[in-house]
Amino acid sequence: MATDIIAAIDQTAANTVLHAAESALGTLSKTGTGSLGPFIAGWKASASFTGGSVALEAPDTVSIDHLRVNYSLNLKLGIDLSFLDFCIPQVCIWTPWGTLCTPTICVTFPTISVTVPFSTSLDLSANFGILVKLTGGTWIVDVVIQSVPTLDLGAAATLLLTAIGAAISLALLAVPFIGPFLSIAAAVITAAFGIAEVTGLLGSILTLFVSGLTFKVWTHAQTFQVLPASPPFTPAVHVLVTSVTAGVRATTKNELVLSVDI
């Protein structure tokens, strides 16, 4: 059936449209809690998306290769150091007025809060489906990720583990009486979690951003203002967009086609 309006772009132009949609999405932010071994990790994260190479596949798939996910993470770990609690024994020392013996003083170590800022990026490749909807008087065409691909987090997890170790070491240095226990504390803490736990936490955070990832490639009011008003005698001209379909047409070129009836 003939359509009133057709707007079609080839794969080259589709890259331009998708990159613009990535910019328009801006930076997404989320917060949550996870765990690193026995430690609770609160986190705030933000992510934005850039680049990628678009391939169009009929009838309705947009494949994006090497989409860059730029993310920043702020982890807050609460580390209970009470396992280091100890007592300073009684000190007996000669003074001019007799031997003074101090009482035994027990030192309890606090739960320290360690903040770890971390930023890096990763590349992912995924298929996106095309979704057309009319919501609240607005037509929207989205490309929506079809499934979360495997995220290659090896290098990032290693860097994050290093950053966590450095932050913990710095936080420990500020704890009074920790000096003799630094190596013990560090050993216990680093034994509590390793690369697998960090990878798991990082993966769970990034999956929240990637799952359901949607780029809005077109949005328009259902009532389309064709021409604006020009007072005093010339009102605006509107048409009503009654239906919209979108898909990929494969002929000599693969093209993303928007079909609109007014």
Partner 1 sequence: MSLTGTHHALASIDEHGVNAALHAFFTARPHYLHYGSPPFVTASSTTETQISPIAFPGVGGGISYAIDLTIPVVDLYPPDGPLPTPLVLDPGQLSLTTTVTITIGCAVAKGTENRGTVQPVSTKLKVVAIAHPTSVYFSPGVGHVTFHVDEVLIPDIEPVSLRSVVDCLIEMILNGLLSSVQLPFDIIDVDFFKIILEEGPTIADNQIELWGDIT
Partner 2 sequence: MNTLDSRFVRLGDCFAHRFSAAGTFRYTLSVIPSAFGAHHHEGGNGPTVTVTPASGAPQATHYVTVSAGDGLIASPDRVTVSAGDLVVWSPDKSVTLGFRVRGRIEDQVVDSGSMRTESIYTHAFGSAGRYQWRDANGSPLKGEIRVTTPNDDHEAWLEHLKDGALVHVRGHQAEPKSVEITVGQTVVWAVEDAPGVTVTDVTLLPRDGKEDSDVGRH
Binding site for partner 2 (CB under 8 A): 86, 88-98, 100-103, 105-108, 176-180, 183-184
Rounded to whole angstroms, how far apart are CA atoms 169 and 211? 34
Measured on CA atoms in the order 248, 253, 258, 260, is the torsion positive or negative?
negative
Residue 187 interacts, among partner 2, partner 1, none and using kind-specific CB cut-offs from 5 to 8 Å, with: none
Could you tell me the two tokens for 140?
A: 């929207």
Could you tell me the two tokens for 215?
A: 């780029």
> Rule CB under 8 A: is residue 248 a binding residue for partner 1?
no
Question: What residue type is assigned to position 180 of the chain?
Answer: P
By the 8 A CB rule, do 227 and 235 touch?
A: no
**Complex with partner 1: residue 5 or 166, whichever CB lies closer:** 5
Residue 249 interacts, among partner 2, partner 1, none and using kind-specific CB cut-offs from 5 to 8 Å, with: partner 1
Cβ at position 102, least distance to partner 2 in Å: 5
Among candidate residues 215, 258, 214, 219, the one with its CA nearest the CA of residue 139: 219
Residue 33 interacts, among partner 2, partner 1, none and using kind-specific CB cut-offs from 5 to 8 Å, with: none
Among 68, 140, 224, 247, binds partner 1 (CB under 8 A): 224
Cβ at position 185, least distance to partner 2 in Å: 12
Cβ at position 112, least distance to partner 2 in Å: 13
Cβ at position 161, least distance to partner 2 in Å: 24
By the 8 A CB rule, do 115 and 74 touch?
A: yes
Rounded to whole angstroms, how far apart are CA atoms 152 and 96? 70
Subset of residues 10 to 29 that bind partner 1, contact rule: CB under 8 A: 10, 12-13, 16-17
Q: How far apart are the first and last CA of the chain?
A: 14
